[in-house]
Amino acid sequence: MILVVGGAGYIGSHVVKELVEKEQVIVLDNLSTGHRNLVDDRAVFVQGDLGNKADLKSIFETYPIQAVMHFAANSLVGESVKNPMKYYQNNVAATLTLLETIVDYGVKHFIFSSTAATYGIPNVELITEDCPTNPINPYGRSKLMVEQMLADFAVAYGLNYVVLRYFNAAGAHESGEIGEDHNPETHLIPLILQHLLGQREKIAVFGTDYDTPDGTCIRDYIHVTDLAKAHILALEALLTGKKKTAVYNLGNGLGYSVKEVIETCEKVTGRKAVIEYTDRRPGDPARLVASSQKIEEELGWKAEYSLEQIIESAWRWHRQHS
Ligand code: UDP
């Protein structure tokens, strides 16, 4: 049985949807940002907290857990700059409690949701996993700290793990059943689509003076189902012993500026956005684009969705659930 911590969240729920086709799944989520109705009916659901030893114990004592996937975290760069305590508490301290329990119960396999924010401001076109990690905000630091704990736990306790460094997750499941539903929403693509649905007056562009061709930030947008498939491959690699420890980037290898994303949303929806150009948002690097060559070569993963397809799937979801 596979324990998915944070399986009611955006990315976790998409992974659960793939995983239930192959494995028995139990989801632990405190529903602080997740939604119960995003969890596939075939998974066992437990409402509880990964920082609460008693919640964890009751799961590990009841179910034969083979591997743990850990999605539960706070993930907003801006918020982490304003409230670092929350990030170190929820992303680092609570994860340590989870890892301690995993070691206590002899579980050997762990998949960790990490982030491009661990790299900081890389001065390369395409970021590879061996680029230096110098995060520039508490969110990125909190994720890097867990990566470092995992490396130490592998040596000391024989924990096998795969770290997946996501670039910008976006889009919704093809079934139309689940999609991105943050409250408050802070991510670019859902904010643009909500604006184009008439739910917001305008879309703000945070900074136009970055060192990029059009002055706005460049990011690598990756469909959430592509991310989900990478988790299935990572799990197989751990369970079959193909991998003991690994760190992989997950991106498309293509960078789009904020302006280009807005233009693509306009094209997909056939609607025109009202744009407000504002100051930079603290903690944002100018450009983050992945090389995902390593996971392609080692696990045979490849991103399938283009930016346009990502936005089309998100648009279907937002129109149905607005
Ligand atoms: N962004 C923006 N306006 C918004 C929200 C985001 O210009 O209302 C920019 C943000 O500064 C970043 C990019 O869009 O350069 C992607 O931001 P998002 O919050 O979606 O993801 P992040 O890169 O922080 O993980």
The pLDDT tens digits of the residues spanning 150-200 come to: 999 999 999 999 999 999 999 999 999 999 988 899 999 999 999 999 999
| Residue the block writes with tokens 């302006």 | 259
* Fold exhibited by the domain 2-170+221-250: Rossmann fold (3.40.50)
Give pLDDT, residue 97: 98
With a 6 A CB cut-off, is 116 part of the ligand 1 pocket?
Answer: no
Q: Enumerate the active-site residues.
A: 139
Mutate to test the pocket of ligand 1, among 188, 203, 227 (most ligand atoms within 8 A of CB): 188
Q: Does any ligand 1 atom lie closer than 6 A to the CB of residue 217?
A: yes
What's the 289 CA to ligand 1 centre distance in angstroms? 14
Residue pLDDT, tens place only, 125-138: 999 999 999 999 99
Q: Are 319 and 197 in contact (CB under 8 A)?
A: yes
77 lines ligand 1 (CB under 6 A): yes
Which atom of ligand 1 has the smallest separation from the CA of 218? 15
Classify domain 188-220+253-321 at the CATH class level: alpha beta
- The string of pLDDT tens digits covering residues 249-274 is 999 999 999 999 999 999 999 999 99
CA of 52 to the centre of ligand 1 (A): 32
Q: Given ligand 1 and candidates 74, 194, 281, 287, which is best to mutate, with the most ligand atoms within 8 Å of its CB?
A: 281
Using CA atoms, how far apart are residues 216 and 278, in angstroms rounded to an integer?
Answer: 11
Look at residues 30, 105, 14, 22 and name the one whose alpha carbon lies nearest to residue 68: 105
- Give strand pairing partners of 114: 165
pLDDT band at 123 (very low <50, low <70, confident <90, very high): confident
Evaluate if residue 201 carries a pLDDT over 90. yes
From the CA of 298, how far away is ligand 1's center (Å)?
Answer: 31
Residue ranges covered by each domain of the chain: 2-170+221-250, 188-220+253-321
Digit-coded pLDDT (tens) for 28-61: 999 999 999 999 999 999 999 999 999 999 999 9
